[in-house]
Amino acid sequence: MNPEYRLYHPKWYRRRIPIFWWLKKLAYLKFVLRELTSLAVVYAVVLLLLQLVALSRGEAAYARFLDLLGRPGFLAIHTLVLLGLVFHTVTWLNLAPRALVLRLRGKKVPDRFILAGHYLGWLAVTLLIVWGLVGR
Amino acid sequence: MAASNQDQANETISLEVFRYRPEEEDEPSWQSYEVPFRPDWVVLDALNYVKDEIDGTLSYRWSCRMGVCGSCGMMINGEPKLTCAAFLRDYYPKPIRIEPLTYFPVIRDLVINMDGFLDKLDSVQAWLIPKEEKPVSEGEYLQSPAELAKFKKFSMCINCMLCYSACPVVGHIPGFLGPAAIALAQRYNYDSRDGGADERAETLFSHEGIWECTFVGDCSHVCPKDVDPAGAIQRYKVKATTEWYKSLLLPRGRR
Amino acid sequence: MKGRSIEPFFWSLFSSGGMLCAMVLPAVAAILWIAIPLGWIAAPNHESLVALVAHPIIRLALFGLVALGAFHWGHRFRFTLYDGLQLKHLFGLIAAVCYGTATALTVLAAYVLWTL
In order of start, what are the domains of chain A with their CATH numbers?
22-100 (1.20.1300.10)
pLDDT of B174 higher than 80? yes
Residue B178's φ and ψ, nearest 5 degrees, are 90, 160
Please, which pLDDT band fits residue C80 given cuts at 50, 70 and 90? very high
Rounded to an integer, what distance in angstroms lies between the CA atom of residue B205 and that of residue B213? 12
Rounded to an integer, what distance in angstroms lies between the CA atom of residue A66 and that of residue A48? 12
* Domain edges within chain B: 2-112, 115-254
Please, which pLDDT band fits residue B3 given cuts at 50, 70 and 90? very low
Please, which pLDDT band fits residue B23 given cuts at 50, 70 and 90? confident
pLDDT at residue C3, rounded to an integer: 46
Percent of chain B with pLDDT over 70: 95
End-to-end CA gap in chain C:
41
For residue B104, what is the nearest residue in chain A, using CA coordinates? A14
Question: Which chains have 3 or more CB–CB distances shorter than 8 Å to chain B?
Answer: A, C
Give the bridge partners for A13, in sequence order.
B106
| Of A78 and B3, the one with more pLDDT | A78
CB–CB contact A35 B20 (8 Å): no
Contacts of B199 in chain C (CB under 8 A): none
Please, which pLDDT band fits residue B132 given cuts at 50, 70 and 90? confident
Q: What residues contact B148, with CB distance under 8 A and at least 6 apart?
A: none
Rounded to an integer, what distance in angstroms lies between the CA atom of residue C58 and that of residue C29? 17
Whether B205 has its CB under 8 Å from any CB of chain C: the answer is yes
pLDDT of B120 higher than 90? yes
Question: Which chains have 3 or more CB–CB distances shorter than 8 Å to chain A?
Answer: B, C
Whether B113 has its CB under 8 Å from any CB of chain A: the answer is yes
CB–CB contact A81 C29 (8 Å): yes
- How many angstroms separate the Cα of B21 from the Cα of each of A13, A73, B28, B89, B204? 10, 58, 7, 30, 37
Contacts of C53 in chain A (CB under 8 A): 52, 55
User: Average pLDDT for residues B221-243, to the nearest whole number?
Assistant: 95
Rounded to an integer, what distance in angstroms lies between the CA atom of residue B72 and that of residue B85? 9
Is residue C45 a contact partner of residue C99, using CB atoms and an 8 Å limit? no
Contacts of A89 in chain C (CB under 8 A): 22-23, 25-26
Q: Long-range pairs for B108-112 at CB < 8 Å and ≥24 separation?
A: B108/B20, B108/B21, B108/B22, B108/B59, B109/B17, B109/B18, B109/B19, B109/B20, B109/B21, B109/B58, B109/B59, B109/B60, B110/B17, B110/B18, B110/B47, B110/B58, B110/B59, B110/B60, B110/B61, B110/B74, B111/B59, B111/B60, B111/B61
- CATH fold of B2-112, please? Ubiquitin-like (UB roll) (3.10.20)
pLDDT of B77 higher than 80? yes
Query: Which range is least confidently modeled, B153-157, B214-218, C23-27, C92-96?
Result: C92-96
Q: What residues contact B205, with CB distance under 8 A and at least 6 apart?
A: B240, B244, C1, C4, C5, C8
Name the strand (E) or helix (H) holding B6: helix B2-10
Rounded to an integer, what distance in angstroms lies between the CA atom of residue C34 and that of residue A49? 17
Model confidence pLDDT, tens digit, residues A49-82:
999 999 999 999 999 999 999 999 999 999 999 9
CB–CB contact A27 B150 (8 Å): no
Distance from CA of A123 to the nearest CA of B (A): 25
Query: Which range is least confidently modeled, A22-26, B8-12, B124-128, B223-227?
Result: B8-12
Contacts of C5 in chain B (CB under 8 A): 205-207, 209, 211
pLDDT of A108 higher than 50? yes
- CATH fold of C7-115, please? 3 helical TM bundles of succinate and fumarate reductases (1.20.1300)
Is residue A87 a contact partner of residue C25, using CB atoms and an 8 Å limit? no
- CATH fold of B115-254, please? Fumarate Reductase Iron-sulfur Protein; Chain B, domain 2 (1.10.1060)
pLDDT at residue B255, rounded to an integer: 46
Model confidence pLDDT, tens digit, residues C6-36:
899 999 999 999 999 999 999 999 999 999 9
Name the strand (E) or helix (H) holding B79: strand B79-82
Number of Cβ within 10 Å of residue B79's Cβ equals 16
Whether B134 has its CB under 8 Å from any CB of chain C: the answer is no
* Domain edges within chain C: 7-115
Whether C33 has its CB under 8 Å from any CB of chain A: the answer is yes
pLDDT of B86 higher than 80? yes
